[in-house]
Chain A
Amino acid sequence: MNPDEMPDEPHLPSPSIWPIGFAIGIAVLLVGLIIDPLWISTIGGLIAVVFGVLWARDATSELRGKPVAIEPERRQAAPAGEDAPLQELSAERYPRSKFLEGTTLGLGAVIGGIITVPVAGFAVLPGFVGQKQHKVDLGPVSDFADGQWYIATFMLDPSEGEVSRRTTFIRNNGPLTVKGKQVPSFTIISNHCVHLGCPVQANGPSGAILGLKTLTETGKNGKVTLTPTVPAGFGCPCHGGQYDTEGNRTAGPPVRALDRYEYEIDNGRIVLLSTYSVAHVDGTGAQAKIQKYKPVGPGEHIDGIEQIFYPLNPPHH
């Protein structure tokens, strides 16, 4: 072909439905290869061949010199000199480009959301839902002498290892008469400072120096140790918070009294349950009046005017 005879405009084949039939034929052929290579593949192959030939004929009709059927223009030609009303008309219509832009952005947002929401939930939610409640077996009640303080350490969840080791201060207050029945009474104080969570220490000698033996037992809460101590109070090494033996703040930055553990006596053994927060304790030992609150984090006020800053707390055990 001479370059001068080359058409100026790009050559576009006329619209045709044959490729669709050809594609269906190929699809049937491929499915047939899996299901029934003999029959279904043959049928698919035949469909593909028939439509392929028709498609090839159609695509080459121009080259073979056949006249090309062109769809006639169905829109009315705009009358000359009346551009303005037509422009107004087309401006009122919702333009196709706007629609496509909207759908692209909208679909993008939907896809982004489908991906982001579960991922964000996966990153955030596990820390808030399904928190395990732990029961801690500290051994028989008879291990705890009346009126004696012990530093008890245990693992909350031995499968997590040493990182789950916790410490409490326990005192057996002796039996308490409730509704005519004698029940054991314990003071069990968490060692998490309510300033910023450092480990408070017993202000006093502990262990061998007292001539008392440290009890050790290994059970389902790992190695549980009970070290006797004689505290004058509790003190935090980090920022100097001080507490009395009931856990009331006596000095320093803490904002309330030390947290305590719920407990139950199961078969003569003492079992620790969840912790709870304490605003203040009046009285001591078995006669103590404890202002008890739901467990909250260190540094959070639970009474007084400041409590309005912490209206909602994450779920706790």
Chain B
Amino acid sequence: MSTRRRQPSRMQQAVDFPLDWLEERSGLVGGVKYFLFRKVPADTNWMQTLGSATLTAFLVQTVTGVILAMYYQPTPNDAYASIVNITDHVTLGWLVRGMHKWGASVFIILMFLHMGRVFLFGAYKYPRELNWVLGVLLLVMGMAEGFTGYLLPWDQTAYWASVVGINLNGTAPFLGPWLAQFLRGGQDIGAETLARFYSLHMLVIPGAIFALIGLHLYLVIRLGVTSPPWSKEAAGADRADEPSQLREGLTRPAARGAGESE
């Protein structure tokens, strides 16, 4: 057995050089490896891919939404016509609009399935409570995306659904009427409402969702993947490359009061 390291091939060097250059200046390569190559319990389940599926659905919504924004006109007199134009005349517009419209439902359904998986696996328990809270906020934001996006086609369904939806908000005690007037941008649904929903739908809420997804993933990376309820393994395994006492308190909490009795 030779202890001498084999000289890397020319090809290997060509790949390594830019990566090493980047790593030395940013630490990004190590960061991405840290993010991707995590230890997960051996008996993880297909159900545990639902979160990634939800993220993928959101990215599809982002990409198709950005393209739709290139053709859509958020003004009362042009909105519906621009939707018709996208659907009937723009090349593959029907496909992109269809992906965005049906993808919205897929996104919401996947969020609920993911939430159900987390609930049934007990993955919301200590120390992951905060990630459940973030997930609920993401669900609320996703619903808000659905609500604001529904008005944009500016047809009869869109209009009256938004009238009813906004007035439902308006019946909330105390602040409801104020919230409804803020959403309408005035006393009645009109040009203001459409422009405002457009801005909320494509700028404000997606920004919040991106930020929340960042925090959500950060906690997933930090706390590790939960093993299924039937697992024989302890929930959450240590990383091979870090001292276990760093994470002991997180992954294998001491029994309550165990430290105090000594």
The interface of chain A, by Cβ under 8 A from chain B, is 124, 126-128, 131, 156, 160-164, 196-199, 238, 296-300, 309-314, 316-317
Contact = CB atoms under 8 A, between A and B. Distances in A.
A93 to B, nearest CB: 39
Contacts of B191: 160, 163
A196 B173 contact: no
Interface string B166-195: 111011011011101110111111111000
Nearest to A156: B188
B174 A309 contact: yes
A297 B182 CA distance: 13
Contact of B167 (A126, A163, A299): A299
A127 B164 contact: no
A238 B167 CA distance: 13
Nearest to B168: A196
B190 A164 contact: yes
Contacts of A299: 167-168, 170-171
Given A127-B182, A163-B190, A198 B170 contact: no
Contacts, number: 78
A316 B190 CA distance: 16
B164 A238 contact: yes
B174 A311 contact: yes
B174 A131 contact: no
Given A163-B190, A300-B170, A198 B77 contact: no
B164 A310 contact: no
Nearest to B189: A163
B41 interface: no
Interface of B: 76-77, 160, 163-164, 166-168, 170-171, 173-174, 176-178, 180-182, 184-192
A300 B174 CA distance: 10
B178 A297 contact: no
A201 to B, nearest CB: 13
A310 B174 CA distance: 5
A160 B76 contact: yes
B204 to A, nearest CB: 9
A313 B163 contact: no
B115 to A, nearest CB: 28
A194 to B, nearest CB: 10
B168 to A, nearest CB: 6
A296 B186 CA distance: 13
A309 B185 CA distance: 22
Given A197-B163, A197-B164, A127 B181 contact: yes
A299 B179 CA distance: 14
A275 B160 CA distance: 20
A interface: dominant SS: loop
B167 A298 contact: yes
A297 to B, nearest CB: 4
Contacts of B176: 297, 300, 310
A164 B168 CA distance: 21
Contacts of B180: 297
Given A127-B181, A127-B182, A314-B181, A163 B187 contact: no
15 contacts: A127-B181, A160-B76, A160-B190, A162-B76, A163-B76, A197-B164, A197-B166, A197-B167, A198-B160, A238-B164, A297-B170, A297-B176, A310-B174, A313-B177, A317-B187
Contacts of A127: 181-182, 184-186, 192
A127 B160 CA distance: 20
A297 B167 contact: yes
B167 A296 contact: no
A78 B168 CA distance: 73
Given A196-B164, A238-B160, A298-B170, A161 B178 contact: no
B202 to A, nearest CB: 15
Given A164-B190, A196-B168, A297 B76 contact: no
Given A162-B76, A197-B164, 10 more contacts: A131-B187, A160-B190, A196-B171, A197-B163, A198-B164, A238-B160, A296-B177, A299-B168, A312-B178, A314-B178
A273 to B, nearest CB: 14
A79 to B, nearest CB: 46
A90 B185 CA distance: 57
Contact of B177 (A164, A198, A310): A310
A316 B188 CA distance: 10
A312 B191 CA distance: 26
Contacts of B192: 126-127
A222 to B, nearest CB: 13
A194 B171 CA distance: 11
B184 A196 contact: no
A274 to B, nearest CB: 10
A248 B165 CA distance: 24
Given A160-B190, A196-B168, A128 B181 contact: yes
A53 to B, nearest CB: 42
Across the A-B interface, the 7 shortest Cβ-Cβ residue pairs:
A299-B171, A309-B173, A196-B167, A163-B76, A197-B167, A297-B170, A127-B185
